[in-house]
Amino acid sequence: MQNTFWYLNELGILLEIVGAVYIVLGSFRARGRIQMMFDGIRGLKQFMRIREILQEQAKMELYGFLFLSSGLILQFIAGFGN
């Protein structure tokens, strides 16, 4: 039984790492896509595209936080094994 709690703890740590990486990659991806756009008046015409990029980033961050919270919950459950 003790071994099961240890595996839950390790899985929780892994999920936290995956969630953090997912959040960071989403931010860098959105930043890169926005930087490629024009500035000035031509950039204002692409407002809808910017909004779509930010919506995708928000979705990626939501999934990242889901992984992070799942990892924390697993670590909390694994803490009862001590």
What average pLDDT does this structure show over 62-82?
A: 92
Span 35-41, average pLDDT: 73
Over residues 10-19, the mean pLDDT reads 95
Rounded to an integer, the average pLDDT of 8-33 is 93
Query: How far out from the chain centre does Cα 52 lie?
Result: 17
Asked whether residue 82 is domain-assigned, the answer is no
pTM, 2 dp: 0.80
**Alpha carbons 53 and 47: distance in angstroms, whole number:** 10
* Residue 68: count of CB within 10 angstroms of its CB: 19
Q: Write the DSSP string, 1-62.
A: -HHHHHHHHHHHHHHHHHHHHHHHHHHHHHHHHHHTS--THHHHTTHHHHHHHHHHHHHHHH
Is 17 contained in some domain? yes
Range of the domain at 24: 2-77
Write down the pLDDT at residue 45: 75
Please tell me the predicted confidence (pLDDT) of residue 47: 81
What's the structural domain count of the chain?
1
